[in-house]
Amino acid sequence: EIARKCWYDNAMGTFRVVILAHSEKDFPAIREEAERLRQKFNDGLQDSEIFYRGQPDDRFSFIFRHWGRELQAKEAYLHYLLVIVILLLVPAINLSSMTLSRMRKRMSEIGVRKAFGATANVLLRQVFYENLLLTLIAGAVGMLFSYACTFLFE
């Protein structure tokens, strides 16, 4: 009897249930049903109450809910956004410096083309399309390499 009261009718501890929803539109109905069942369970308890802290969660919220604390979704989104921006900013700066270096090496070619009548728009368009083509090729090679590594190390 003492153990039963200490552990709140054997309802204390960590529980995890995964619910597969058809779409995001089903989330409110799932949360309402979970709340209804929680209330029903709590009606049978005498000196305690079970609470969910705003759960059930989606996958992203579950990852950022630590030890059952209240979810700080805004902080989690900002953290992810900051990391992604930094991870994308460094390669962007690197690519722009590589493009600048390549253009400096080709200044004589650009000068000859300008002397033969090429306009600034034509030269700019050529540089843009060359960089776009190189980026697409490098992206495709990187994608193939990542798939190969995924299957190789799986």
Say which residue, 64 or 87, is predicted with more confidence. Answer: 87
> What distance in Å separates the CA atoms of residue 2 and residue 91, rounded to the nearest whole number?
62
Please report the pLDDT score of residue 67 as a whole number: 59
Model-level pTM greater than 0.75?
no
**CA pair distance 105, 99, nearest whole angstrom:** 10
The pLDDT of residue 2: 44
Say what the pLDDT of residue 132 is: 92
- Give the whole-angstrom CA distance, residue 61 versus residue 57: 6
Q: What is the mean pLDDT of residues 125-153?
A: 93
Total Cβ atoms within 10 A of residue 16: 5
For residues 125-137, average pLDDT: 91
Residue scoring higher pLDDT (16 or 139): 139
Note the pLDDT of residue 8: 55
Identify whether the C-beta of residue 56 lies closer than 8 Å to the C-beta of residue 29.
no
14-31 tens-digit pLDDT = 667 778 888 889 988 988
CB neighbourhood size of 62 (10 A): 13
Taking only the tens place, the pLDDT of each residue in 30-76 is 889 988 988 888 887 777 777 776 677 777 777 776 655 666 667 77
pLDDT of res. 121: 94
